[in-house]
Amino acid sequence: MTAVSAEWLSRAGAEIAHHAERELEALVAISSPSGDVEAAEEICSLLAALVPAEARIERLECSTPGFGHDFLATLTGTGERRVLLLGHVDTVIAHRDHQHLRAEDGRLVGSGSIDMKGGIALALGVMRAVAAVRDAFAEFALLAVVDEEWRAGGFGHTSRFAGFDACLCFEAAQLGPGGEEAVIARRKAASTLRVVARGVAAHSGSAPERGRNALLALGEAARRVVSLSAPAGPNRLTAVPTVIEAGEAFNVVPAHGELTCDLRADSLDAFAPVVEAVPADVDGVALEAELVRHWPGMDTRERVADRLLAPAVAILGRPILAGERGGASDASHMAPHIALTVDGLGPRGGHAHHPDEFVLAESLLPRAEIALAVTAAALGLI
């Protein structure tokens, strides 16, 4: 099997970084909010042009019905290992608010740049670099999904890749407490709590006592939910009301409404008490609570540190930490099926989900080198 050197990593990393900014510009130029089928087709066509020419391209059924098809590019080789690169190309920014990429004081600012088209740009470069060492793998695949930001159900691709040797996800990177470069090997479980209220309408001026106020009932539900939030507790639970909708007119007691809460914890089991805390009735208003999204937690720190980061650090000559993040990602779905799963291999940046989100241009080269070194470790090349 071909072994790689520090010199190869340096040259290949520089090549990836050299192309990454322009490829990021092309990716960001396509506004691709979750659920837009035409936009999904356009950006997946761009991906097809950027992967190695010898890659086999497939369009897979998306995990979310009615969305565009996901993108899969696969290289086949003469080796034994199977490695999956993972990411998403959908964003939360609507077409009307889309910002094309622009350079500002060392920042590459644009919609979806850090979450996560910057990571996709690096993953494309890694795939092109690895294409030259075909004896290192049996399969080397890049899966880019189009529904990560708004998916409510499960992840439909776990069985396809179960048993792969490694899953490398390219969500945004971060720094450790001492300024060291880090990857993500631990993520919280996530769920969305939805509470539906059914009350009774009445004129708010002449007969408010005849109504049953759905808005007030949802407010009480929100209060009970947030009272259970305990980020420093044993499950590190955060329970945060995020959206409330009720009422149709300024002079009518609202009869219907809905509350949405974001739940995060170390395991999905921590969410059951939150659901149970929502009362079935508040002052005559019926409340129904349900969990509408289930993202498992992930903790691969020990395996990642020993089998990926140790050899990567040895060849790079600088520290890489196995860090953690509260947010969920598709890596969380793959971790129960691929033991060696790691995330946070993208560039560094910030302001995800905001109009001014950005990638730090100076992070492209060091993060390309880290992604290559971790990939080489996953393939047994170092």
DSSP structural state of residue 249: S
d(CA 103, CA 80): 42
pLDDT for 249: 95
Q: What is the enclosing helix (H) or strand (E) of 11? A: helix 6-29
d(CA 166, CA 163): 8
Q: Comparing C-alpha atoms, which of 16, 97, 2, 3 is closest to residue 368?
A: 16
pLDDT for 355: 87
pLDDT for 293: 85
pLDDT for 1: 55
Tens digit of pLDDT at every position of the chain (382 positions): 578 899 999 999 999 999 999 999 999 999 999 999 999 999 999 999 999 999 999 999 999 999 999 999 999 999 999 999 999 999 999 999 999 999 999 999 999 999 999 999 999 999 999 999 999 999 999 999 999 998 888 899 999 999 999 999 999 999 999 999 999 999 999 999 999 999 999 999 999 999 999 999 999 999 999 999 999 999 999 999 999 999 999 999 999 999 999 999 999 999 999 999 999 999 999 999 999 988 999 999 999 999 999 999 999 999 999 999 988 899 999 999 999 999 999 999 999 999 899 999 999 999 999 999 999 999 999 9
pLDDT for 82: 98
* 100-123 tens-digit pLDDT: 999 999 999 999 999 999 999 999
Q: What is the enclosing helix (H) or strand (E) of 369? A: helix 364-378
- Assess contact for 332 and 295: CB atoms under 8 A: yes
Ordered strands of the 341-342 beta sheet: 56-60, 70-76, 139-145, 82-88, 166-169, 341-342
Q: 1-14: buried (b, 16+ CB within 10 Å) or exposed (e) per residue?
A: eeebeeebbeebbe
pLDDT for 37: 98
Where in the chain is CATH 3.40.630.10?
6-187+297-378
pLDDT for 294: 86
Query: DSSP for 302-325?
Result: HHHIIIIIHHHHHHH-S-EEEEEE
- Assess contact for 139 and 74: CB atoms under 8 A: yes
pTM of the model: 0.91
CATH domain 6-187+297-378 topology: Aminopeptidase (3.40.630)
Q: What is the enclosing helix (H) or strand (E) of 126? A: helix 118-130
Where in the chain is CATH 3.30.70.360?
189-294
189-294 maps to which CATH number?
3.30.70.360
The CA angle 190-193-195, to the nearest 5 degrees, is 175
